[in-house]
Amino acid sequence: MPSFETINVDVLQEHVLRVMLNRPQAANAINTQMGRDLLSLFTELAADPGAVRSVLFSAAGERAFCAGGDLKERNTMDDAQWHAQHRIFERMIKAIIDCPVPIICAVNGAAFGGGLEIALGCDFIYASTAARFALTEVTLGIMPGCGGTQNLPRAVGERRAKELILTGNPFTAAQGLEWGLVNRVCEPARLIDEATETALRMARNAPLSTRQAKLAIHHGLELSLADGLVLEIQAYNQLVPSEDRREGVAAFNEKRSPNFKGR
């Protein structure tokens, strides 16, 4: 894996890629370089996942997952520079959302603004009891621009999302769990361990199967039920001639663990 200036990337056992935001001195706020780093990484993953079968997305430090856009950097920008930076951010969040590999996000602290939008761009969220969430953009004279107005209502419903976005009010991990935004709330000392266990569990499954299932769920939700069922069968049929399908059935009948190869 290449090295990056603002994120740490390494491979854990069993095909899990660990991605860690690494600007703890700035509450892991997203500056232009972080946008470029994340865009580069997830664009490469989309083009060629290689041996990667799941992604664990986390952040350095205990205080914040990500405080959103780096307002100190933005304070000196004119309108053209702001637009140029945001185009990078727009491509970044789309690359995360479109990643074919399942992504679990471990939120350890504050996930505000763009930080929550990054978490929403992942497939699901585990959160520390210390985590706090908010889309605060309207308090700054802007609005969510990295998927917040689209992904939050899909997670918590239109009326709840309107209340949260239009007030900018923060909410807790427990509230996020109650509303369907968060999948699991963990004690701070257990967050990464529990997220890693789930990432490893996904990585042990057939990688082509998990990618096709993710695609069918993600895009099927945008379709009618009838069209979604057609998409599901198209995704399913691509798995029938795979070596992994044969290996999975053989392993079941031979009462052993399958050895999936991703082909």
How sure is the predictor about 204, in pLDDT bands with cuts at 50, 70 and 90?
very high
Query: Tell me: the pLDDT tens digits for 157-198?
Result: 999 999 999 999 999 999 999 999 999 999 999 999 999 999
Residue spans in the chain of domains classed CATH 1.10.12.10? 207-253
What would the mean pLDDT of 125-143 be, rounded to a whole number?
Answer: 96
Q: Percent of the chain, pLDDT > 70?
A: 100
pLDDT of residue 247: 87
- With a cut of 80, say whether residue 2 has pLDDT above it: no
- With a cut of 70, say whether residue 236 has pLDDT above it: yes
- With a cut of 70, say whether residue 242 has pLDDT above it: yes
pLDDT of residue 241: 93
Query: Tell me: the pLDDT tens digits for 74-89?
Result: 998 999 999 999 999 9
Which of the following CATH numbers is that of domain 207-253: 3.50.50.60, 1.10.12.10, 1.10.287.3510, 3.40.30.10? 1.10.12.10
pLDDT of residue 58: 96
Query: Tell me: the pLDDT tens digits for 12-40?
Result: 887 999 999 999 999 999 999 999 999 99
What would the mean pLDDT of 209-232 be, rounded to a whole number?
Answer: 94
How sure is the predictor about 114, in pLDDT bands with cuts at 50, 70 and 90?
very high
The mean pLDDT value of the chain amounts to: 94
pLDDT of residue 42: 95
Closest Cα partner for 130 from 107, 148, 162, 98?
107
How sure is the predictor about 1, in pLDDT bands with cuts at 50, 70 and 90?
low
- With a cut of 90, say whether residue 230 has pLDDT above it: yes
pTM: 0.92
Residue spans in the chain of domains classed CATH 3.90.226.10? 7-203
What would the mean pLDDT of 50-79 be, rounded to a whole number?
Answer: 92
CATH number of 7-203: 3.90.226.10
pLDDT of residue 62: 82
pLDDT of residue 194: 97
